[in-house]
Structure 1
Amino acid sequence: MKYLVTGGEGYVGRYVALWLIEQGHDVVLTTRRGTTQVPGAKVINLDILNSDKSVFETVGRPDILIHLAWEDGFSHASDKHLKNLPGHINFIRNMLEGGLKHVVGLGTMHEVGYHIGPISENTATSPLHAYGIAKNHLRLVQELYCKEFSAVYQWLRCFYIYGDDELNNSIFAKLLQATDDGKKSFPLNSGELLYDFIHVKDLGAQIAAVSSQTEVVGVINCCSGEPVSLKTMVQRFVKDHALEIELDWGKFPLRAYDSRAIWGDRQKLDAALAAYEKTLPQN
């Protein structure tokens, strides 16, 4: 199969691309730099936010689009989320009009908004900031367009991603930076929030595998399925990285839109992974 991975040079995307390449697939990445650090991938210099009707031909008529490209994902209030949204919509539309038959979008738990407890694929959405609103809108448009063009529609909803922390803007990256800057303490909120944490490498494998089957479609949670407190994860991170920094809990208030306990229901994910396993050659 031939995959187009937008954002394939990004934090999550390179793990998706590497997994697909290891499975023997042809992988094309789009980048505005024209180069790639992903061995085995073909790179096309393309600004997807300014695509035209010929884009499907330009990127080599892929079988599957995994659309991961997004700016400022760790900055929920960035004006780029809504500003760039029309470009994402036009890109997906142009790809489908060109002949694309399978679209995989990347979602977020922030589409749901404030919620306590597990999130299933049927949980109502009510996003509370620009990032969640933009992603939720793109999800709805992608579903609509896929129905119009009879294309496979998958929307993979992500939760709290960690790993390769020097490459992101998470609390773990900020801890590393504070240590490098020689700071002796690090202020946090209470740390009592429960989140669904998933390592970026595991997430990349989930995205790639789920995208490689069509038995399970629609919204699919990509997650661990287990709630863990932020305090537990931060303390574990400090210990694992031997960071000499004091954790100053309770210095920041909780954000109004932060769910106190939120994690993914992975029943549909497990069904998708089982469906993928059935596509593999049987010994």
Structure 2
Amino acid sequence: MKVLVTGATGFVGRHLVAALLARGCEVRAVARNAETAAQLPWINAVEFVAADIHAADLDFAALTDGVDALAHLAWPGLPNYQALFHFEHNLMADYRFIKGAVEAGVSQVLVTGTCFEYGLQSGPLSEQTEARPSNPYGLAKNTLRLFLENLQRQQPFTLQWARLFYLHGAGQNPNSLLAALDRAIEAGDDSFNMSAGEQLRDYLAIDTAAHYLAAILQQREFDGVINCSSGQPVSVRALVEQRLCERGASIRLNLGHYPYPTHEPMAFWGVADRLQQLLGAEHEA
């Protein structure tokens, strides 16, 4: 199986490429910056293409030649979830790119969506839960999904929409919680400022998430929305305390220093039943 991966040098992309290679897949990895790609351990094991997928003169035929599936991860501007450019630019640019790939003959497309498509709804969130995005990023992603589902009626293809929850691991945004905690540990700080930490979230290690995405891609008959999540609610405080334990670090948590974010509910997590059924089908195959 040959997979075209966009955003291949990003946080998720670099790990998905590694996961696909580990499964014996061929990978055509696409990213704008060849210098960044050259630093990654898999660079000599893939066909790398330096390209801007939103460019007006993109050669779709050449980019998709011989490809069985597209894994579309590229999405500029994260983690600024509130910016209007998500739907003013990214939405239509991504739709045009995916449509071009489908028209060029790609019959299977996996796109990474987001738990923010569910908006401010609390509790367990399944794929049957109505999408109610409440920020520009979630709105743009969910609208892209709706556009692509309409495109399927005109130009049939398999659409695998994987909603990512809270990922952590090597290459994560340096301003994310665990990355900031690691810096505080390494700096020998006495205390670490955070919220009260009672929020419940769905956390997934990036290596595990990449394994899940690769497994979804190889289940070529699957079409639809799927949560890429652990299915287990964990408090922010418990996550931080677990990392301190893993690092053997002793640092005082300054709980309540930051207020709770207003753009997220206090407790939500993904229902992972559909994902586990798909993984079970993979093991039986």
TM-score scaled to structure 2, two decimals? Answer: 0.90
Structure 1 position 205, deviation (Å): 0.1
CA 1:169–1:69: 2 relative to 1, 3 Å:
farther
Structure 1: tracts of 5 or more residues without a match: none
Indicate how the Cα distance of structure 1 residues 12 and 168 shifts in structure 2: closer, same or farther if over 3 A, else same: farther
Query: Residue 11 of structure 2 aligns to a residue in which SS?
Result: coil
The answer on whether the counterparts of 2:64 and 2:104 sit within 8 Å (CA) in structure 1 is no
Distance 1:80 1:61 in 2: 33
Do the aligned partners of residues 230 and 69 (structure 1) sit closer, same or farther apart at CA in structure 2, a change above 3 Å counting?
same
Q: Is the CA contact (8 Å cut-off) linking 2:64 and 2:101 kept in structure 1?
A: no
Pair 1:202–1:98, CA change in 2 (3 A) = same
Q: Which runs of 5+ in 2 are unaligned?
A: none
Call closer, same or farther: CA 1:165–1:44 in 2, change over 3 Å. closer
1:42 maps to what in 2?
A: 47
Structure 1 letter corresponding to 2:32 = R
Provide the rounded CA distance (Å) in 2 between the counterparts of 1:110 and 1:47.
Answer: 26
Structure 1 pair 243–190 and aligned structure 2 pair: CA distance change class (3 A)? same
Q: How does 1:1-283 map to 2 (within 5 A)?
A: 1-34=1-34, 35-36=37-38, 37=40, 38-39=42-43, 40-52=45-57, 54-82=59-87, 83-164=89-170, 168-180=174-186, 183-279=189-285
Given the superposition, is the C-alpha separation of residues 99 and 197 from structure 1 closer, same or farther in structure 2, using an over 3 Å criterion?
same
Q: TM-score, normalised by structure 1?
A: 0.91
Q: Which amino acid aligns with 1:128?
A: S
Partner of 2:198, secondary structure, is: coil
User: 2:211 is matched by which residue type in structure 1?
Assistant: A
State the distance in 1 between where 2:56 and 2:26 align. 22
- The Cα offsets for residues 120-149 of structure 1, whole Å up to 9 and x where unpaired, read as 111111111122112111121222223321
Instruction: State the Cα distance separating 1:15 from its structure 2 match.
Output: 1.7
Percent of residue pairs bearing the same amino acid type: 33
Equivalent pairs counted in the alignment come to 279
SS in 2 for 1:237: helix
Aligned structure 1 segments of 4 or more residues deviating by more than 4 angstroms: 165-168, 179-183
Report deviation, 1:64.
0.2
2:54 aligns to what SS in structure 1? helix
